Structure 1
Amino acid sequence: MTEIIALAIHDLNRSDAGYSVALSKKLLDVTDTTLRVISTVYELYNSRTSKSHGRFTTADGSPTEGQIRAYVEAKEKDFLGLTGKMMDNLAREAGKKSASVGGHVFFAHFRRDGSDFMLVTVVTDKLSAALTKNHGMEDVEHLDLDGFRFAGRINLTAWADKQDRYLSFLKGKGSISDYFRDFLGCDSAVLERKDTQSLVDALKEFTLTEKMVDTEATAFLSDALDYLGKANKAKEPVDFEAMANRLMPKEPGRLSKFLANTDRQLNEGYVPNASALKALVKVTAKTKMWSVEFTREAIDQSKVVFDKDKKSLTLMDVPDELINQMRAEGMISD
């Protein structure tokens, strides 16, 4: 994180009577400790798989976008007031689902790489033990930073620029995080073809980042096509961790971490689109005068040869059927 604009922490409490909010009276100071905590939470969030990406919903009844807009238009003068209102939203949505035990709710407005973000996460306390100076032992409570289940991020700059996706949250398994999605006011409707195309692009980028040689990249992408193609036929949703375990069994974390990066805005939980998957192993192009389609394997085996100086492609092993057709139509002579 390049710059912390504002930090706040409030409490969401659960009792037999329901959920209540305990608001802080002042913002958190930006210290080495708070910076470390927020940075750690953000890095953990960024590396988690099973995130969903979308935008603010246009449905009636969700106040979050309007509250964010008022905060931004006021030139970010009242972060404490904004987060207090958002806590009311959180308590209301939690009450509808009874999905959370409550906890400390961190809000961070920060700036990174020229963009403004807001991070929201619910963190609980964890009991551990510590040694005393006399070699005794005592109970100590600390924040369970690794164990948070509910978190979301708003790219405020992308939202202001009216981009398609600027809001993400941890989706988890099942519907347990629905209340957090509704609290954020996120519309994460999945567009299967577009999401599949984004995943295909990311997998190709991964082969370049890993500096795979051509044949290794082709094998990796072919395996990805086989795995995702079977998911399409079985109508099974995409799961990054499961896919990483299949494609990179020795080091699955390298792939899952790459795909989980929040800035890539890759959704999970949708059935991959069969048509979009073809781009994993095939290259297609066309002009007004011709169209061409070939596989990565054709390049690897020199069945298609590219001359960078002439910007030309040479196709090897042209089938007799095509030759006879061109001859019959007078395009070529014997």
Structure 2
Amino acid sequence: MRGVETLNEIVALAIHDLERREGVYKVQAADKQLSVTPTTQRLIDELYDLYNRRASKSHGKFTAAEGYPTQAQVRDYVDDPERDFLKLTSRMMETLRNQAQARSASTGGHVLFAHFRRETRDYLLVAIITDKLSAALTSQRDVQDVRHLDLDGFRFAGRINLTAWANGEERYISFLKGKGDVSAYFQHFLGCDSVVQDRVDTSNLVTALKEFVVETEMPEKEGNEFLGKAKAICERVSRAREEIEFDALANELMPKDPKRLTDHLAHTDRGLSDRFVPDRRALASLVRFRGGTKQWKVEFDRDAVSNRSVIYDAAANTLTLTGLPDDLVEQLKSEGLGNG
């Protein structure tokens, strides 16, 4: 009898250790894969959710530069009919050790590798997790020390969308961003080229903000104010040539419930890169609609719909413009138009 199906179907799972002693990194390799149990399933499900909610991520693809072996290692695994996951992760651990040694950016920890399938797509997740000391109450009503995995505290993690990579999509790698070597360490381990394209990233952010208004069913007036404020914040950051940060954006846009917005923006499947300089041209569509045919063009602000200067009839598929400016009216009249 099959159990309850999960959204994250674990294909393979392994945990190795990266240890640092007197400045030297060493790998303690596992000798077998982990079994899929209710406990390991909960572990992957929780890591998946935690990783998605982390706002500060960068997205990219495998670099074409030499000296980054992870792509070849993953390709060997994917192309191998036997899919030797322990071999793949052991090879990746050596790459991780080399990058850690070169940058001294990590104290090490348990390195979890998971190949899982979600909604017909395959992913490879890598996360470095440390132990945390806590207390537990025994059956004899005593308190004793207990060490457990500190899932909330992980700083290094990345994910490769194996299906998107095979399909030739533009971005299929993501990793948590930090500052300085913290970010470079894991980026170099993955061999990820995350060249930021400000206009593309701004357009993706604009789309995500519009989707948020729709998904949260904001009233029209509230939604217009939300998007208008978002545009003003992003333009201010752009003029200062600073990078937009999703946590700061959410705190200013929704001070009473910023987490709701950061969770929306941070979801890894959206592919939104945090910390880029907004492109002001791409911000215009937050508050403006434009379109046309070979015979006409139209452009109007979102507020024009709210105040009925522009009336959209979805059923009739028509736009009605009201309050026409005098110069346009005079042009039309001078041509004898509108007289029946």
TM-score (norm 1): 0.96
Q: Does 1:131 align with 2:169?
A: no
The alignment partner of 1:322 has SS state of helix
1:260-303 Cα offsets, whole Å, 9 max, x none, are: 00000001111000000000000000211111100111001110
One-letter code aligned to 1:93:
Q
Shift in Å, 1:307: 2.9
Report the equivalent of 2:99: 93
> Is 1:42 aligned to residue 48 of structure 2?
yes
Letter of the aligned partner of 1:11 in structure 2?
A: D
2:70 aligned residue (49, 59, 64): 64
1:327 & 1:133 partners in 2: Cα distance? 91
Write the deviation string for residues 203-245 of structure 1: whole angstroms up to 9, x where unpaired. 0000010011211111110110111111111111111111111
Task: Indicate the residue corresponding to 2:156 in structure 1.
Answer: 150
Q: Is the 8 A contact 2:125 2:158 kept in 1?
A: yes
Give the match for residue 79 of structure 2.
73
1:311 aligns to 2:317 (yes or no) = yes
Structure 1 pair 104–309 and aligned structure 2 pair: CA distance change class (3 A): closer
Q: Which runs of 5+ in 1 are unaligned?
A: none
1:305 CA displacement = 1.0
Residue identity in the other structure for 1:130: A
Match of 1:206 in 2: 212
Does 2:188 align with 1:182?
A: yes
**2:225 pairs with 219, 224, 227, which one?**
219
Task: Label 1:119 to 1:254 Cα distance change in 2 as closer, same or farther (>3 A).
Answer: same
Q: Corresponding residue for 1:276?
A: 282
Q: Secondary structure at the match of 1:177?
A: helix
What are the within-5 Å matches in structure 2 for residues 188-267 of structure 1? 188-267=194-273
Measure the CA separation in 2 of the matches of 1:167 and 1:221: 29
1:17 Cα deviation (Å)?
4.5
CA–CA separation in structure 2 for the residues paired with 1:234 and 1:279: 21
**Match in the other structure for 2:127:** 121
C-alpha displacement at 1:64, in angstroms?
0.8
Q: Tell me how far 1:323 sits from its aligned partner.
A: 2.4
Match of 1:322 in 2: 328
Report the alpha carbon displacement of residue 58 of structure 1 after superposing the two structures with TM: 0.8
Give, in whole Å, the separation in 2 of the partners of 1:180 and 1:289. Answer: 53
Distance in 1 separating the partners of 2:143 and 2:83 = 45
Task: State the Cα distance separating 1:251 from its structure 2 match.
Answer: 0.7
Q: Distance in 2 between matches of 1:331 and 1:69?
A: 70
Counterpart Cα distance in 2 of 1:166 and 1:57: 12
Distance 1:245 1:220 in 2: 13
CA distance in 1 between partners of 2:246 and 2:23 (Å) = 39
SS, match of residue 163 in structure 1: coil
Which amino acid in the other structure matches residue 10 of structure 1? H
The residue number in structure 2 matching 1:52 is 58
Tell me: CA distance 1:27–1:318, structure 2 relative to 1, closer, same or farther (3 Å).
same
Aligned to 2:171: 165
Q: C-alpha displacement at 1:327, in angstroms? A: 4.5
Which amino acid in structure 2 is aligned with residue 143 of structure 1? L
1:32 deviation in Å? 1.1
* Structure 2: gaps of 5 or more residues: 1-6
Asked whether the 8 Å contact 2:125–2:160 carries over to 1, the reply is yes
The amino acid across from 2:222 in the alignment is: E
Alpha-carbon distance between aligned partners in 1 of 2:240 and 2:285, rounded to the nearest angstrom: 20
Number of aligned residue pairs: give it: 333
Tell me the secondary structure at the aligned position of residue 176 of structure 1: helix
Q: CA deviation at 1:333?
A: 7.4
Letter in 2 for 1:318: L
Deviation at 1:138, TM superposition (A): 2.3
Report whether the alignment pairs 1:104 with 2:104: no
Distance 1:313-1:180 versus aligned 2 partners, 3 A rule:
same
Q: Which moved more, 1:175-184 or 1:317-326?
A: 317-326
Counterpart of 1:83 in structure 2 is 89
The list of structure 1 runs, each at least 4 consecutive aligned residues, that deviate by more than 6 angstroms after superposition, is none
Deviations 1:114-162 (A, max 9, x none): 0000110000011122233433332221111110000011110000001
Map 1:3-42 → 2, pairs under 5 A: 3-42=9-48
Counterpart of 2:4?
none
